[in-house]
Amino acid sequence: MANMYDHAYDLEKAIRNSEEFTGLKDAYEAVMGDEEAKKMFEDFRQTQMTLQQKQMQGEEISEEEVEQARQVVEVVQQHPQISKLMEEEQRLNTVINDISKIITKPLEDLYGEPEEPQQ
């Protein structure tokens, strides 16, 4: 029987060649190839990460920050290339979560607790 690493490399290849990954790649490159979209997307990511970090560290998030984040999301969702990218990210994310659940199943069976799903 092939070992774990062989199977992991096969899986990596299957991910790389999947519609889900190539779709994400195309969408990502479309955004990165457009200066305006790129900047908008990077601002959005930065806002998200800052809020997430604060949340994880139990810091207070002001109403103003929440409102600002909401507006940033609204703007990027109306940008066709960025909203396409976010859709594709969500799609691959679902697949990666599924895969992660499948391969951590032996540990889950052993320890009897489901692993925290990755976002």
Residues near its own copies (CB under 8 A) are 1-12, 14-18, 20-21, 24-25, 28, 56-59, 92, 95-96, 98-99, 102-107, 110-111
Q: What Rg do the C-alpha atoms of the chain give, in angstroms? A: 18
Smallest distance from the beta carbon of 3 to its own copies, in angstroms? 6
Residues 33 and 29: their CA atoms lie apart, in Å, by 6
Question: Nearest-CA neighbor of 86 among 54, 44, 49, 36?
Answer: 44
Q: Report the residue from 34, 72, 89, 104 that binds Ca ion according to the rule CB under 5 A.
A: 34
For residues 63 and 110, which CB has a smaller minimum distance to its own copies in the complex? 110
For residues 9 and 46, which CB has a smaller minimum distance to its own copies in the complex? 9
Question: Nearest-CA neighbor of 92 among 15, 26, 34?
Answer: 15
For residues 80 and 111, which CB has a smaller minimum distance to its own copies in the complex? 111
Q: Which two tokens stand for residue 27?
A: 């969408």
